[in-house]
């Protein structure tokens, strides 16, 4: 049985919770504005579930706009999708995907909003994770923690902000991780762009770019395993 859940909320929403449990094919669509101080929690179990739909024209994707928000999405299964925009400052997003061939494409803090925390955890194989944070260099204090466990996973992250703090743990073989940090930087004593990475496994590919108008930048990279390709650009 296929379920579709649509939220369209144009005023303050304090809490939203959606639970989809089925063999699969469930969809959650959210179009929520003026969502200050709101909490949204979504759990999907099964296969071919989605939060937002990049292929849909008639239905909205996943859009939440406000400040001081908390978003939690948990998906467990195969071929699940998360796609959309989480717009606002001083907000927190926690994304968990367990299974194979899942994908996430999320924009957080776009349109110049200030401050945010993102934590992404992916366990499985052949997963794809893409996210953009803070598309304006005038915003600051964006942090994310990324944990990937499995093989042949792909991660692409782009951040444009002051005071970017990234922590990445990648465990498995044949994974590809690419990140770009840009925007104005910090002070002489506080790194504006900071990445701490732990890469464990064989045949992984890591590419890190830090591009900023001032210094300093900081990268700490620990690699365990063989056949890992590492590219670092600081400009």
Q: What φ, ψ does residue 45 adopt, rounded to 5°?
A: -120, 135
User: Distance between CA 37 and CA 54 in Å, rounded?
Assistant: 27
Condensed to tens digits (0 to 9), the pLDDT of residues 25-80 reads 888 888 888 889 999 999 999 999 999 876 765 555 788 888 888 999 999 999 99
State how far the Cα of 200 lies from the Cα of 149, in Å rounded to an integer: 10
> What does the pLDDT look like over 77-101, one tens digit per residue?
999 999 988 887 788 899 999 999 9
Helix (H) or strand (E) holding 26: none
Supply angle C-alpha 217, 220, 130, rounded to 5: 80
- 219 vs 152: CA distance, rounded Å: 24
**220 and 196 Cβ atoms separated by less than 8 Å:** yes
Average pLDDT over residues 9-13: 36
d(CA 227, CA 235): 26
What's the DSSP call for residue 194? E
The CA-based dihedral angle spanning residues 158, 110, 92, 211, taken in that order and rounded to the nearest 10 degrees: 30
Residue-level pLDDT at 207: 94
For residue 213, is pLDDT > 70?
no
Q: Residue 7: its pLDDT value, please?
A: 44
Q: What is the pLDDT of residue 110?
A: 60
Greatest CA span in the chain, whole angstroms? 58
Give the DSSP letter of residue 46.
E
Question: Confidence band (pLDDT; 50, 70, 90) for 159?
Answer: confident
118: closest CA among 99, 146, 137?
A: 146
What pLDDT sits at residue 191? Answer: 53
Model confidence at 104, in pLDDT bands (50, 70, 90)? Answer: very high
Higher pLDDT, 30 or 127: 127
**Is residue 125 over pLDDT 90?**
yes
Q: Residue 5 CA to chain centroid, in angstroms? A: 22
In the block, residue with structure tokens 């928000």: 69
Q: Which pLDDT band, with edges at 50, 70 and 90, does 13 fall under?
A: very low
Residue 106 pLDDT level (bands cut at 50, 70, 90): confident
Greater confidence (116 vs 28) lies with 28
Query: To the nearest whole number, what is the mean pLDDT of the chain?
Result: 81
pLDDT per residue over 177-190, tens digit each?
Answer: 999 888 765 554 55
């Amino acid at each position: 049985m296929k379920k579709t859940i649509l939220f369209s909320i144009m005023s303050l929403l304090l809490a939203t919770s959606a639970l989809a449990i089925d063999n699969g094919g469930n969809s959650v669509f959210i179009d929520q504005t003026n969502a200050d101080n709101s909490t949204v929690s979504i759990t999907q179990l099964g296969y071919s579930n989605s939060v937002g739909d990049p292929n849909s024209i008639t239905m909205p994707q996943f859009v939440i706009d406000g400040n001081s928000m908390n978003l939690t999405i948990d998906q467990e299964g195969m071929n699940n999708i998360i796609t959309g925009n989480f717009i606002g400052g001083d907000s927190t997003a926690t994304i968990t995907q367990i299974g194979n061939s899942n994908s996430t494409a999320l924009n957080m803090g776009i349109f110049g909003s200030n401050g945010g925390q993102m934590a992404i955890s992916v366990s499985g194989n052949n997963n794809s994770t893409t996210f953009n944070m803070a598309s304006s260099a005038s915003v600051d204090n964006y942090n994310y923690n990324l944990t990937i466990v499995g093989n042949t996973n792909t991660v692409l992250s782009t951040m444009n902000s002051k005071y970017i703090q990234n922590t990445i743990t990648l465990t498995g073989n044949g994974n590809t991780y690419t990140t770009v940090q840009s925007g104005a930087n910090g002070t002489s004593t506080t790194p504006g762009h900071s990445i701490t990475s732990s890469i464990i496994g064989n045949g992984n590919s890591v590419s890190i770019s830090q591009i900023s108008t001032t210094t300093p930048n900081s990268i700490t990279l620990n690699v365990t395993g063989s056949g890992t390709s590492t590219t670092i650009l600081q400009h």
